[in-house]
Structure 1
Amino acid sequence: MAGRIRDTDIALVRERSPIAEVVSTRVTLRSAGGGSLKGLCPFHDEKTPSFTVSPARGFYHCFGCGAGGDVITFVMESEMLGFTEAVEWLASRAGLTLTYEESPGGRTVQQPKRSGQRQRLVEAHVAAAEFYAEQLGTPGARPARQYLAERGFDQAVATEYGCGFAPTEWDALTKHLRGRKFTEDELVTAGLAKQSRRGTLIDRFRGRLLWPLRELNGDIVGFGARRLLDDDDGPKYLNTPETPIYKKSSLLYGLDRAKREIAKRHRAVVVEGYTDVMACHVAGVPTAVATCGTAFGAEHISVLRRLLMDQDEFRGEVVFTFDGDEAGMKAARRAFEEDQRFVAQTFIAVSPDGMDPCELRLANGDMAVRDLIERRTPLVRFVLQSTMDRYDLDTVEGRVAAMRACAPHVARLKDRAQRPEYARWLAGRLGMEIEPVTRAVAEAANAVARGQRPSAPAAEVPTEPAVQRPSSEDPVLAVEREALKLAVQDPVLAGPMFDAVEAVAYTHPVYVAIREAIAAAGGVVEGTSGPEWVQRLQDGCDDLVAQSVIGELAVEPVRRDGEVDARYAAVLLARLQEIAVVRQIAPLKNKLQRLNPVEKPDEFARLSGELFALEQHRRGLREQAIGGL
């Protein structure tokens, strides 16, 4: 049985894997002040960024869905890996060798590095890509080289994009990879081989030009294969099937190359094929990507939105380049249906003669491709025009029918300010007065609203009232939150003074639960800053809301412009105690006011003494807080 990874190795993996660098392979991060970074959460769909990363503390937290953890947790969640596989993934990335231990009879056994399933499948694809690339130079690959040359790509470009050729033999790749110690089960699971009718293992791709399909982090997880030979009765394009590491609904070809330019230029160009991506990149449009054997859908949008930082405060651009034929028109209309998922403005770029980017570059050069993108048209205008083109606008009936067909498109525009402008544009194109068009758009908008209205709720079953999450903006709870934030982020700085303030000083039940978790962990004197401390506190909390809030506190900037030092900690904790004392004073004063000192002199004297002591304590805390400023 394989052993566990040595704790010192896990700590080294965390140290050598900067969380901002790892997260940035999937999310565009921008400064959020206080040393924190912010982006769109990769774990749920959102319009305003709530995903926060604290590089200094090696922790991330999403204030929207509650996801959070350290760099290992991020890899586990984003790559769908177990703990050990995530550590191995990060170790491989950082160039580290792991040591595995087990103790039979108290004896430590050192074991060589092992690889999880994902790592093995990726390694098989890397080996396959190398094999295919080598085959591209063989005599049998002449049709593949000719295909690339006819589309304007020389050997240097083919090499840069990892193009390869699958030999026509039944099991050329299978034999090669079996010789590299990959098992038959691994080859079938990876989608590189399949069972023949006779039960033997054969290659999935034969006699085809291939492109490696890479994830955002650069890992090869599949292949796209183009038919070349006349006797190949398979589909024109054949992709790797769905596997544990390849999901075509979320993968975009070329995104590993384009991601930085997309984030930098705030623009993504969506084309239809692999050669279109290559042509755009070579021609100076480095933000081009393409789907892999499936229609552009919701998961592709989620991936692009995270890179574009697609949020309310910023509007990027997504430019679609569809063919000018009927299939391209249908694709454009489907894209417009998904348009509402973007905050970014969507455009379409169609060559006047219907050529795709690859054909356009071949016919007119690189500049023509760049001009095509720059001459983009708003997608809504394109959809409206293509809809009108289906009707005879020379007749009253045709104009009215076109208006009714176009009105729902205008009504669905996410930017309400654009609706009256497009209604006016539509009226001009139809040759109609603005009033009936505006009325048709309003009616369509009302119909959409009625369709989105939720149905009447079923009878409610009484339940225990849920504990509300404390607001980070609540001024009444601000001091409590800052004190806990200090303990989570820098327990050494919080020190014994924090431990001296008991849970009764906290008023919100979630904050009380967190304070109790800190006490259960031995107090801050037992803590060391970093993701291990945060995880330890979360593990000590039974309350799921409290666990999530701990994640928030780990990455949330401290509300102080100056340096967070021992003086600040002393002032903050003195203020926390002062507020707690004030809460004790108020009911005591009320009780004294209701008490008759003649009838109950002893009780009055006792309560008066308690009030005096509390007032003295409050003044001392106040002076301590003021003196520390």
Structure 2
Amino acid sequence: MAGLIRREDIDEVRARTRIDEVVSAHVTLKNAGVDSMKGLCPFHDERTPSFHVRPQAGMYHCFGCGESGDVFTFLQKMDHVTFAEAVERLAAQAGVQLRYEEGAGPDREQMGKRQRLVDMHAVALQFFREQLESPEAAIARGFLSERGFDRQAAEHFGVGFAPRSWDALGKHLRGRGYTTEEILAGGLASQGNRGGYDRFRGRLMWPIRDVAGNTIGFGARRLYEDDQGPKYLNTPDTQLYHKNQVLYGIDLAKRAIAKTKQIVVVEGYTDVMACHLAGIETAVATCGTAFGPEHIRVVRRMLSDDAAHSGEVIFTFDGDEAGRKAALKAFELDQRFVAQTFVAVEPGGLDPCDLRQQRGDEAVRELVSGRRPLFEFALTSTLAGIDLSTVEGRVRAVRAVAPVVAGIRDRSLQPHYARFVAGRIGVEVEEVTAAVRSAARRAGAPAAEGPRGRLDAGAPGSGEQLPPPAVGPHNHWGADPADPKAQVQRQALQVVLQQPGFVNARLFDRLDGSVFTVPAFRHVHEAMRAAGGVAAAAKTPQGWPERVRQNALPEVAPLVGELAVAPLPAQPGAALERYCKAVVARLFDLDMLRIAGDMHARLQQIGDSNPQEQQHILRQLQVLEANRARLRATF
């Protein structure tokens, strides 16, 4: 197993990678001043660019939604990969050989074999797409046309056709240099008594891709009546493809999911196509298996599904009994999400593809917008089929719904739904409530959760409990814009993040956090201390703002990004150095003014009761005022 990537290698990758070049692959950037670029934010919808990138700082920040980070964070959020995967991808592009703290790192031979399989699937995809234009594929084109998908749609989703020949694809791949063993290993062929033969024959083909857009498998739909195989045939589990971990359409949906914090789970390839073409670009589907725990891990990573960032998971199911059972199964998995879960079922039993074909794009959009909370659907489905006109039926109904109500994750909603089902069943709410309590005890349900996302506001490394910082990109983080002291604090933090080389590390790192009267600014200062202070920044300047951001409270991390990206009001060179030193000097002056205030307060306390201490404080005040005078001469 690979160990942790060495910190110096991560820093080397960061140093060799221009964040603006990586971001430009996703966002059109324009110059916005010295060392500043901006464009439309990829994480939320906007018309006026508020997404800023600072190549020199290696950071990005959106002044509209507050998203911020470095080049690794950007890749993680855009392509939904892990930190290690982001580093490894950029290392390969930058030519950096990574070393690992424990273990030998990835098996290079296996990585090479995997890349061969990825490349082979790209060749197979192109082959299938070209075959869709052949005379033999008329049946496949007709299938698509009958369901409202034209040639442009087929090209967009990479749909192709597998000829009925036993070895058309195999011959093509061997002609491109791939061995029979590789074709078998990739799941594109099956082993028979006379050797390998094409797994997919006479079928409509959909490429199944990973988050990065690499084709890792295929889904194939039966077209001919004499085809004795299953209606849908997928790639078997291989080194690339694991059906319990892949979602069809994830490569096309990932950016819309990141923007909207919503994911729509449908049941088939054509349903995904229909949803995307109707404007629901967050739709994905499982591939030949039920939605399960492994898929949840993928979805949670796509949504950044944690206490601070929750979203919506919407399941669409057919309106038949199988769809009802699937919805109830999804409800059992609901506890694994922080996101709110919903269900969208068309009353007539139409799936999104049929719905679009019969009623148009707007009907598909209305289906999704009319979603219902999953637990509401689970409750009504549980009551369906129970005769509520008899006493025995009502008792059975209470017993049936009690575990469902007890299973609702948000405990504050349980009383509401207890009243909801009591009205449906026709019993007193106390009867349902008692049954819910009993069901919760049997299940060992946890206590009610507190407010989501609220973290301890105490400053890291400090015994003092600071008030929680204000949040939001447009509220000045609790600072009065007209307060000159607050402006000095903000400007000084900007300088320390962006130009630590112009800051006296010895003095700043010894600075008492009390000088920051704005709680959010004090939190940033504490994050700087936790990241090693300016002394650490001087030793390893690359990645300094990101290290501070990682050490900040979740509520404060966007502010760190904002301070690291907001342009300083000075041109590079001597003018910038003078500005930076003057701003930090003003902060030191504020701190000395605070200390002087404490001394004057102490003098008033002791009065004439302790002449010796009184003289000592007066001498300290004289020294302090002399230091202030020298300091003020520098700005």
Q: TM-score, normalised by structure 2?
A: 0.66
Q: Superposed, which structure 2 residues align to 1:210-359 within 5 Å?
A: 210-230=205-225, 232-243=227-238, 245-262=240-257, 267-298=262-293, 300-301=295-296, 304=299, 317-342=312-337, 344-359=339-354
Q: CA deviation at 1:275?
A: 0.9
Q: Which residue of 1 aligns with 2:191?
A: 196
Task: Please tell me whether the aligned partners of residues 13 and 96 of structure 2 are also in contact (alpha carbons under 8 angstroms).
Answer: no
Structure 2 residue aligned with 1:140: 136
Residue-by-residue CA offset, 1:501-540 (whole Å, 9 max, x unaligned): 2855579999667547x547755xx84xxx45669x89xx
- Determine the structure 2 residue equivalent to 1:205: 200
Shift of 1:134: 0.8
Q: 1:571 to 1:247 in 2, by over 3 A?
A: farther
| Match in the other structure for 1:452 | 446
Residue of structure 2 in register with 1:71 after alignment:
71
Name whichever of 424-433 and 311-320 sits farther off.
311-320
Moved more, 354-363 or 364-373: 364-373
What residue number does 2:398 align with?
403
**CA offsets, 1:245-293, max 9 Å, x none?**
5454453323433445556666543210011122233345444322222
Partners of 1:60 and 1:555 within 8 A in 2: no
Q: Determine helix, strand or coil for the equivalent of 1:501.
A: helix
Q: Does residue 498 of the first structure (1) align with residue 493 of the second (2)?
A: no
Task: Write the letter of the residue equivalent to 1:165.
Answer: F
Q: 1:418 to 1:82 in 2, by over 3 A?
A: closer
For 1:347, what is the secondary structure of its paired residue?
strand
Matched position secondary structure for 1:452? coil
For residues 318-365 of structure 1, give each alpha carbon's deviation from its aligned partner in whole angstroms, at most 9, with x where no partner exists: 432211222211110012223344455443333333232223334444
1:86 lines up with 2:90 in the alignment: yes
- Does the CA contact (< 8 Å) of 1:132 and 1:210 recur in 2? yes
Per the alignment, residue 50 of structure 1 pairs with none
Secondary structure of 2:345's match?
coil
Cα distance in 1 between the residues matched to 2:468 and 2:421: 53
Q: Which residue of 1 aligns with 2:482?
A: none
From the superposition, tell whether residues 620 and 296 of structure 1 become closer, same or farther in structure 2 (CA, over 3 Å).
farther
The change in CA–CA distance for 1:628 and 1:398 in structure 2 (over 3 A counts) is farther
Are the equivalent residues in 2 in contact too, given 1:349–1:372 (CA < 8 A)?
yes
Q: Distance in 2 between matches of 1:434 and 1:474?
A: 43
The change in CA–CA distance for 1:388 and 1:578 in structure 2 (over 3 A counts) is same
Alignment of 1:21-100 (within 5 A): 21=26, 28=43, 57-59=57-59, 70-72=70-72, 75=75, 78=82, 81=85, 85-88=89-92, 91=93
**What aligned pairs does 1:101-140 form with structure 2 within 5 A after superposition?**
120-140=116-136
In structure 2, the CA distance between the partners of 1:339 and 1:484, relative to structure 1 (3 Å rule), is: farther
Q: 1:161 corresponds to which residue?
A: 157
Q: Residues 583 and 277 (structure 1 numbering): CA distance in 2 closer, same or farther, change over 3 Å?
A: same
Alignment of 1:11 with 2:38, yes or no, is no
Tell me the C-alpha RMSD between the 2 structures: 5.5
Matches within 5 A, 1:519-530: 519=535, 527=541
Change in Cα spacing, 1:561 to 1:374, as seen in structure 2 (3 Å) is closer
Deviations 1:59-108 (A, max 9, x none): 489xxxxxx984257658638648564344xx5xxxxxx7899xxxxxxx
The secondary structure found in structure 2 opposite 1:16 is helix
TM-aligned CA distance change 1:139 to 1:556, over 3 Å: closer
Percent identity over paired residues: 42
Superposed displacement of residue 141, structure 1: 2.9
**TM-superposed deviation, 1:119:** 5.3
Structure 2 counterpart SS, 1:353 = coil
Cα offset, 1:452, TM superposition: 3.4
> Structure 1 residues 522 and 425, CA, compared in 2 at 3 Å: closer, same or farther?
closer
SS across alignment from 2:206: strand
Q: Give the letter for the 2:58 counterpart.
A: G
Structure-2 change in CA distance of 1:546 and 1:357 (3 Å): closer
AA aligned to 1:177 is: L
Unmatched segments (≥5 aa) in structure 2: 1-8, 28-38, 62-67, 98-110, 449-458, 470-478, 480-485, 514-524, 570-578
Match of 2:585 among 570, 574, 582: 570
Partner Cα separation in structure 2 for residue 434 and residue 553 of structure 1: 45
Contact kept? 1:168, 1:207, Cα under 8 Å: yes
Q: 1:628, CA displacement in angstroms?
A: 8.6
**Structure 1 residues 213 and 393, CA gap change in structure 2 (3 angstroms):** same
The AA in structure 2 aligned to 1:58 is G
The answer for unaligned runs of 5 or more in structure 1 is 38-52, 62-67, 92-97, 102-114, 455-466, 539-544, 598-603
Amino acid at match of 2:169: L
State the shift of 1:148 in Å: 2.5
Q: Distance in 1 between matches of 2:245 and 2:558?
A: 32
Task: Give distance in 2, aligned partners of 1:289 and 1:310.
Answer: 17
